[in-house]
Structure 1
Amino acid sequence: MIIDPNTGKPLTGNDTTAAQPEGIVGAGDTAAPRQAEDANTYIIDVDMSNLQQVLEASMQVPVLLDCWSPSSESCLALTPVLEKLAREYAGGFILAKLNVEDNRDIAAQLGVQSVPDVKLVMQGSLSGNFTQALSEAEITTFLAQHQVLPAAGGGPNQSDQAAQALENGDLDTAKALYQQLAQDAPDVPEYRINLASVLVAEGNGEEARQLLDSLKPEDRDGAKARGVRARIDFISEAPTPEAVQSMIERNDSEARYQRAMRDLADGHYELALDALISLVKTDRQYGEDLARKTLLRVFDALGATHELTVRFRRQLFALMY
């Protein structure tokens, strides 16, 4: 049964004598998705005859309960996306589809007030839900936030999902995915380096540094790890926002450099690179060639193939030669 985590009361009845739903094998504690002859094994239509067994399966595998209506345009747009993900996750979760117009009593028991209403059931309890037609990326983020990941060999590339989440500023999702990847593949240093990047973005630079220090020497000293270390250093070296504000009217080399460092710490790399290139052009001697040296550190942080690295390295070369 689904247990309401707020009240501790069941949202469904506890009749366990109903027929076993197609696509689920076993019963009670052993319920689990059958190995698929085709990917639709993980997509199940739910009614009163099989609801309890589907919910019992959540003790072994997450169940995404899609409460939908054929008269809702939002539902008609959302359901194909959910079905696509169910096939791609290949057993990472079961998609259970409940037509609320045909099953009004169940919908009332579940507290469905409008559709779509997609409920995530894990270990017999309601873990979360959403009530609008989310995009595929938003749904995968929702699933990752609840530790619902593709089965081995299935689903979207988790590394790509994590990278996209980090780019979008969704640090919780990126962190959960990289932690899982690092745990599943401890011999792949890239996952721990990327996790360190997330920690830096969270403001946990010291924890990130310790994680990098735990790598093998050849990985610890590689370009990607050096880049993360550079970002940690930029944050530690940058003036506070208040200090930058106090020099906002100044246009001397020191003020320009400090503003660039603040931009680096805030992740505004293009602004910082523009300022540093300008400083190299107008005051090469400032800080014993400090602007040029900092540019090289930024290139290291971004990586050799990053668009900003390629563009500004070309500008720096033109200034030097």
Structure 2
Amino acid sequence: MEHIINLTKENIQQVVDASMDNFVVMSFWAQQQPESVQMLQVMELIANEQAGRFILAKVNCEAELEIANYFQIQSLPTHLVLSQGKPIDGFAGVQSQAQVLDMLNKHLPELWVQDVNAAKVILAGDTVTKEQLEEALSLLKSAYVDSGNQAEVALLMVDAYLQLGILGDAKTLLDTIGLADQDSYYQNLKAKLALAEDAADTPEIRQLQQALEAEPDNVEISINLAKALSQANRGEEALENLFAILQKDLSAADGKVKQVFMEILTALGQGNTIANQYRRRLYSLLY
């Protein structure tokens, strides 16, 4: 359902049903009542700014007198907040945007909860694209900050990281979850991470690691190992190995180490936490 609708006799049951899961604000107005038109504009502004936080149901009392009579509207403008099919709050007369928000904030969920719920829908989908997962992760990153780093949001972020194959960030974030929040969802994600890490430990990687142990100064082996780690979604390990070389010689292997390092950063993407961390570390060497 759209976040702003015109309430009529034909769709009122649909709106009441929607109030079982969402908050609905009913705005009673009439063209012949200028103050009600003014208040309706304020409500539309708020509804657009907070799209999805509540449904604004506009009731034109000149056309829908029965609805106004049913809710015993005595004057215009009048606003009612519906939850679970019943009015739980409201106000009559003109109020400022700040006053309206103060009233709504007593009942409506925090804005970050809306982002979390949207991300949950994406993560629970049967067929989810990479773009959708990245959208969910972006919503969750914002919600994580706004929620004060709540564990519930962190676990959802770990889920998104795992589905995207970003194992380093998933492991780092999972390690921040306190004992009190290590529920069944946490255990499920921990098991998925372990399986993903095992799957990422390919024979090629093990062979290159053994070769590097035998020849620790062989830059070519280090480059090949970094490429293999990156392909196995182990970008943090790849970057760490190459950065250790760059710390000693920025132009190692005629600049090839730095080139591969930058390619891995690009592959991880601009919004990747690990990529941003190592990009800053590289800049500290350059300048």
TM-score by length of 1: 0.36
TM-score by length of 2: 0.40
Higher-Rg structure is: 2
